[in-house]
Amino acid sequence: MEKFTRSSLNAVISLLIITFFLACNSSKEPDLGLIPVKSADKWQYIDKEGKIIINPQFSYAAGFFEGLALVRNTADPQRYGFINDKGTLVINANYVTATSFSEGLACVVQENGSPTYIDPTGQIKFTLKDAQMASLFSEGFAAFTQIDKDGNLIVGFVDKLGAVKIIPQFFSATLFSEGQSSVMNKERKWGFIDSKGQIVINYQFNSAGSFKDGLCIVSDGKNYGYIDKTGKYLINPQFEDAYPFSDGLARVKMNGKYGYIDKSGKILINPQFDQALDFKDGRASVANSGKWGFIDKDGKFIINTQFDYASNFFGKIAFIESANKIGVIDKDGKYLINPQYDAINRDVLLGEVTNKWVETDYFDAALDVSLVQTYADLINATTTSGIVLDKLKNVSHKVNYSTISVDTNLSNKSRVSYSFNGNATIKTVDYYRGGAETINTSVPISYFASTIYLPKPKAKVLFESLKTMVSAKPGLVLNTEQSNDNTAIYESPTQTWRIYMRNETSIELGVWQKAGMQGMGD
């Protein structure tokens, strides 16, 4: 989300309590000396007076953390890099995705690469080759996921040297906060571990957040309450929604309205608002009837509801939206920067780092290549239906008249459909005798067809891998006249191999035995 609006408000607020494995309650705020804002289709950086400090030039711009900001260029394809406060690109834009810096490291991913951690000079510290996702660091640990033998994503943690300190075993988890991480087991119950991976609060909750100021929000499946670090309820589950304590108070939802409680669970500001944000520096942004203003800790309005949206105050400023434009106000509600920008980065909006995780871009094409090669290599002048059926005796398959077909899923999340086509009927069904089936094992097989459906747009990677595999076969020569960027045709005196990239997520490989090609089509 690049822009905050009323239509996107629910998504904004939900970001604060999502308990997916990469969610965490980060206390690290962006440097508001430089504010990333968007005008038209370009991002730039301004100061608190609205002066342009770094000119509009980015397709995306994040907040500054640890002296660097994550930006994305406007090239084709667009790539991420890091700039300093002068706008100088200090880490080249070579990445398809990246986190912001945290605890001296950022996690980046190059094209067809795995999550890799770099330091502020861009030097690689370590790579998590098998990780499907990876997070930034929090309290010396980064979360990562791997695929287990059953195809599930499981979460573990590494230290700053890349050593696995807590082996992947959890089905979800939060980043470490105040020495603990909430984790979910296979039965979808949540508990808590310490930095050694030991369970310190047993699995028992339907959901759980991160500890902040010694308290953590949990759910019993119906309502939300707060526990301490021993798992004891300090505030019993009674709220429809609940958020971490901030500035001594926590916002909670009761009967469809938001109010605020103290750490004893006592309601200090009655639930009366349609929407609300946390207290910060004695103020909270609240809304009724679609308009936002600010209250103090007595629940009294100090800036009347008038904005289409209003963030919390960060020091002496807050960000507001009016007439679909974004501006900046002071603590009296006066404009420091008139509403004029089209978007503001979530780092600034939420007051914390939001680029917390990356997903691998690596695709292991070897699994797909190995599978189709195994069966494509069966095709020769002597291949019969019996030979194919014997090869598939331990593989689930179907026989339909003159075709033997298989549909299977691989551990890299690819789906592969392949078939062997005979020159005559392989299966005969006698419907006059109760559907009795007869399999002819002597039918010549002259055509192998396969389609690979990929879990991500990596057809080009697989296309090149298949070309390498086929070109290495003795006697096969590339037909340059019939080949192009999406098709590669290799021929020998007896066979034709055709690789066709249908789109970014699917690719075909076909093998014809020339003696059996007549009338079969392309």
Write out pLDDT tens, residues 179-214.
Answer: 999 999 999 999 999 999 999 999 999 999 999 999
Residue 500 lies inside a defined structural domain of this protein: yes
Here the tokens at position 392 are 């598939």
Residue 329's identity, in one-letter code, is: I
Long-range interactions of 121-125: CB distance < 8 A, separation 24+ = 121/90, 121/91, 122/82, 122/90, 122/91, 122/92, 125/160, 125/161, 125/162
* Number of domains present in the structure of the chain: 1
pLDDT > 80? residue 474: yes
Q: For residue 201, which of 211, 189, 192 has the smallest C-alpha distance? A: 192
Residue 265 lies inside a defined structural domain of this protein: no
pLDDT > 50? residue 15: no
Residue 76 lies inside a defined structural domain of this protein: no
Residue 189 lies inside a defined structural domain of this protein: no
pLDDT of residue 190: 98
pTM of this prediction?
0.83
Residue 419 lies inside a defined structural domain of this protein: yes
Q: What angle do CA 510, 512, 513 make, to 5 degrees?
A: 155
pLDDT of residue 517: 44
pLDDT > 80? residue 398: yes
SS3 of 154, please? strand
Residue 451 lies inside a defined structural domain of this protein: yes
Q: How confident is the model at residue 433 (pLDDT cuts 50, 70, 90)?
A: low
Q: How far apart are CA 76 and CA 429, in angstroms?
A: 56
| pLDDT tens digits, one per residue of 80-106 | 999 999 999 999 999 999 999 999 999
pLDDT > 60? residue 22: no
pLDDT of residue 364: 87
Domain that holds residue 508: 365-516
Q: For residue 245, which of 227, 272, 271 has the smallest C-alpha distance? A: 227
Helices (H), 303-381: 346-350, 365-376
Q: How far apart are CA 438 and CA 295, in angstroms?
A: 81
Whether 200 contacts 194, CB under 8 Å: yes
pLDDT > 80? residue 25: no
Average pLDDT on 496-513 reads 97
Q: How confident is the model at residue 514 (pLDDT cuts 50, 70, 90)?
A: confident
Residue 109 lies inside a defined structural domain of this protein: no
Residue 432 lies inside a defined structural domain of this protein: yes
pLDDT of residue 375: 95
Average pLDDT on 352-362 reads 94
